[in-house]
Structure 1
């Protein structure tokens, strides 16, 4: 059972508390002064949940578009939509409504975290209360997460770690991303020191020490890589700093190893997959069935954004498995029969079909990543019918599927499927990358093989072996230095995609490696999606501009409202 079911009715206004004087003569029953709010431990817990409550707004529909890269595109073609199509096609403008909303929700989450941290730390009993320290650690994890998104999406941005108590404090100049990174690392260090490791009884819908350590690894790798600067150039830190960051990644990995609880999910490690105990489906597929089914698994899943709606219209409405899964027709049933049939799946995204051929035969990640069928409604049999899709341009991302969810629905387009933001397999591959960058390439291959073993893929120890068992891989126009480190980078380019497709990392891997444009162009020039018909639906590589599209624009409304931004947007917007 999802943890969120117990907290689904969060007070939407619980964080709209103000410390300034109230000008109303009568206060509504839900109003608290700051002193009143932080005098009640129940309010403090509610306030922390209020920070979490921002995440579904960020990681629902918006995230799917933000994540589109060399593996997916938005299926709808035609004119600009000022939304997900423009983002995935790299025709984005400063008035894109998805970017505007993501900006708003990210700052809302940051403000809530700032408010709760300051308020709890000012409580009289804070120093002696272990529970309050743990709640602050959670809030710092969440503040680090929102802060990281600001840097990842927009680079140098207005930033502070104190709550906003006046209009004058609402507008700030840009802060250097390096200063923001320093704060993120500080917050995550405090968070990992203040939170316990997960156990088998933990819910991944609440942060743990593993969540903080995994996010820190991701932050360090991103910081060590390329990012777009305000002068329009891609730059990365000096080598000595990069080595410090890679070393810090391996230290976090060593903490995971020392703790010993977390690992790769298998049907043998005592966690039910919530759907099927048939081992023939493969452990990787079993993992993603658990996500679709709603079974919580804290062994591999380190942190999840929780979606749950009681009635299909209120609460944290989710779209995982409907917008980015195989298409399912709307069922032609009576309204009294919704508990007996699958809901609809709009299938707004398509997978680049060549990825299916890139996998080694027998790698059980292949048929999870790429779904080649859909479900049509057959009124004669009065049920959905599974059909193979012969047009490769209409294959779907397959990690979340209606057929893997519990039967029935509350609203045909809405799901309760969580988004797993941090999982152990990514931790293993991040550690492998760091060891390689530190010159310990043999250790890197060992770790990469841990992930491949679960997928029943061939164990490899060189790029040549890697290519031999996956002969359809494209020749990369990068990572061709001929060194052992470059060989591993080339293998990791593919392996992270095989393991982590559509989960939010791919685009930002390519940015920090400094090769996003090259990858998009290579994909566009080599996919049947662009050559099998008269149209060219995968246009990311055609439109991408290095020195611009590595960042989103700051929303035009914010540029116009904040004089301290000096009417200057991100490069080339």
Structure 2
């Protein structure tokens, strides 16, 4: 059955563990609470402990948490993706995207925003971890061991998101007490080292996908996710990042060196690969059809998904191809708050099957008698084709939620992390088989000799292989909002964003690498009278295909739109993180401050 069953009921159970009269007034972190159910009772019984663990995930569905703010807004803008609020000058949502967020941002400066909800979840995880250790007798292979591993993993997931969003944050790894409630920020190195160790422990406790009844769904934590998250965190910990008063650099903590962290990443990725418990889907389209069809069976490409019930979550609501009205595919007229940069479509090899899934040049127009057609938009507006109401098996009727899960990690990331780490530690020949595996799926068999083997075999230096991996990441993950974190750790955020602006100017002017992009599109409708047939998107398609086609100018990209990728005069490398929102600064009893010039 789809979704974590009865998660609200389970959350009520754990809330009874947390709720009590507050001993002091604080919105900074969750306040300590006296249990109304004995911890010894809850954490000595598997069913009750399972309810407590499920309660750790409940905060993601809160209105201003991951559901309505963090998932839709974090991760923009990059060299591949932008949010269409960016061009609205002074818009609070746009400020989050253009590297000009303020601590009093009206979208985020709320007591129930993701900062608070993440710490609520961490507090629940801390209580579960302590309770299971004390009363649950967790061991490798038993159910309590699985639950402890899940709690450690979920806490690590939340902390990894805190650090990538805000940099240094309060490190709380025990249930909150009066003394710890007003905790100042800690070095992110402390957080990184703790969660890397936690994930190592969790990987011993948690079962592989489909190895037990607890790991048959991608909504449940499994060993592949634990190891993949550990690899992701290790790469981030050793990567470039902005430090207070110290600019962008790698960590100077020897425990987080490139050599040590890349070794962890490579070992974990190879362990996942060798397990055979997950793997690439046969086609790129299948990955996204399964997400939209809400297929949550473990063992495919999706490794772990943030679960949303049918009436919660805004993944398609935010990112799907735009539907201008209720129509034959959806009862929710939404989607399309963001999309790929217009250059991205033209950066793909035309034979790459990922291109037309990732970059869509049309919307669904206003319906007539409940029926709508695809309509071309404009050169500067594209949509992510990975998210589609028309691929869902369920007709969405909610006004503002769609219930599609957030795919948090998939196997393709494991393969590319293995390629990156192998290249760094062992050289390009060790990375080549991984890069070939990703590209082999992207191209038809007839193209493998040139576009897979020939292309990869020519990458004979570590630098060439690294640059190819950076490009492949773009082709594989555009629209998944993973790019920003990757650009930061590669020390390419500011440089690539500046280059992206220039590339869009070149496309507008049809100069440089975009000189041969056609300036006119031709289109007609297929026999179903809703699906567009388009000519002129590919380079060289400049001849009118016939009188039954309509034409559309394909040149307009306004300079102010191009410049909205990031605020003029702002260096994105000086704004890699969001500020801590003012409401939490004000309620921190003077222990929290903002860095980075905020």
Structure 2 equivalent of residue 376 of structure 1: 365
Give the Cα–Cα distance (whole angstroms) in 1 for the partners of residues 323 and 226 of structure 2. Answer: 37
Contact 1:378–1:384 (8 Å) recurs in 2: yes
From 356, 359, 369, the equivalent of 2:348 is: 359
Provide, for residues 324-356 of structure 1, a one-character-per-residue CA deviation record: whole Å limited to 9, x for no partner. 121112227xxxxx9x85532241113211111
2:316 counterpart SS class: coil
Contact 1:342 1:407 in 2 (8 A): no
Out of 266, 270, 274, which is 1:250 matched to?
266
Note if contact 2:43-2:136 (Cα within 8 Å) is conserved in structure 1: no
How do 1:88-487 residues align onto structure 2 when only pairs under 5 Å count? 88-100=97-109, 101-123=113-135, 125-126=137-138, 130-166=142-178, 168-199=179-210, 202-237=216-251, 241-266=257-282, 283-298=283-298, 299-309=300-310, 312=311, 317-331=312-326, 342-380=331-369, 382-389=370-377, 391-456=378-443, 459=448, 466=455, 484-487=461-464
Deviation at 1:413, TM superposition (A): 3.5
The answer (yes or no) to whether the contact 1:319–1:417 under 8 Å persists in 2 is yes
CA 1:34/1:498 → structure 2, altered by over 3 Å: closer, same or farther? same
TM-score, structure 1 length as denominator? 0.84
In the comparison of the two structures, how many residue pairs are matched? 522
Instruction: Verify the 8 A CA contact 1:342 1:403 in the aligned structure 2.
Output: no
- With the length of structure 2 as denominator, give the TM-score of the two structures: 0.80
| CA shift for structure 1 position 18 | 4.3
Q: Distance in 2 between matches of 1:134 and 1:297?
A: 19
Residues 423 and 462, structure 2, Cα contact 8 Å, conserved in 1: yes
Kindly indicate whether the alpha-carbon contact (under 8 Å) linking 1:141 and 1:187 is maintained by their aligned counterparts in 2: yes
TM-superposed deviation, 1:241: 2.0
8 Å CA contact 1:307–1:418 kept in 2: the answer is yes
Residue 72 of structure 1, aligned match among 81, 92, 109: 81
Q: Distance in 2 between matches of 1:70 and 1:124?
A: 48
Tell me the C-alpha RMSD between the 2 structures: 3.0
Per the alignment, in what secondary structure is the counterpart of residue 11 of structure 1? helix
> What do the CA deviations read for 1:43-95 (whole angstroms, capped 9, x no partner)?
2111100012223444433223211222222213324333x321112221012
Indicate if the aligned counterparts of 2:224 and 2:272 stay in contact, CA closer than 8 A.
yes
Q: Does 1:43 align with 2:51?
A: no
Q: 1:397 deviation in Å?
A: 1.5
Tell me which residue corresponds to 2:595.
570
Match of 1:95, SS?
coil
In structure 2, the residue matched to 1:523 is 500
Q: Name the SS of the counterpart of 1:234 in structure 2.
A: strand
1:53 aligns with 2:30: no
Inter-CA distance 463–199: structure 2 relative to 1 (3 Å threshold): closer
Q: 1:556 aligns with which of 582, 586, 589?
A: 582
Say which SS state the counterpart of residue 560 (structure 2) adopts: coil
CA contact (8 A) 1:8 1:308 kept: no
1:3 is displaced (CA, Å) by: 3.7
With over 3 angstroms needed to count, the CA separation of the structure-2 counterparts of 1:348 and 1:468, relative to structure 1, is: farther
1:461 and 1:246 map into 2 onto residues whose CA distance is 30
Partner-residue secondary structure (3-state), 2:290: helix
Does the C-alpha gap of structure 1 residues 501 and 9 become closer, same or farther in structure 2, counting only changes over 3 Å? Answer: farther
Deviation (angstroms), 1:129: 9.0
Range that drifts further, 392-401 or 99-108 = 99-108
CA distance in structure 1 between the partners assigned to 2:22 and 2:285 by the alignment:
54
Instruction: Tell which deviates more after alignment, 287-296 or 58-67.
Output: 58-67
In 2, distance between residues paired with 1:467 and 1:440?
A: 13
Match of 2:551 in 1: none
Q: Show structure 1 runs of 5+ residues with no match.
A: 24-29, 267-282, 333-337, 470-481
Deviations 1:151-180 (A, max 9, x none): 2112221112100133x3211122111111
- CA shift, 1:126, in A, is 4.8
String of CA shifts for 1:270-327, please: whole Å, max 9, x gaps.
xxxxxxxxxxxxx111210110111124221110011113xx4xxxx12112211211
CA contact (8 A) 1:19 1:33 kept: no
The separation in 1 between residues aligned to 2:90 and 2:566, in whole angstroms, is: 17
Alpha-carbon shift at residue 403 of structure 1 (Å)? 0.8
Write the deviation string for residues 123-174 of structure 1: whole angstroms up to 9, x where unpaired.
16556992112101100001111111122112221112100133x3211122
Gaps of at least 5 residues in structure 2 are 24-34, 510-555
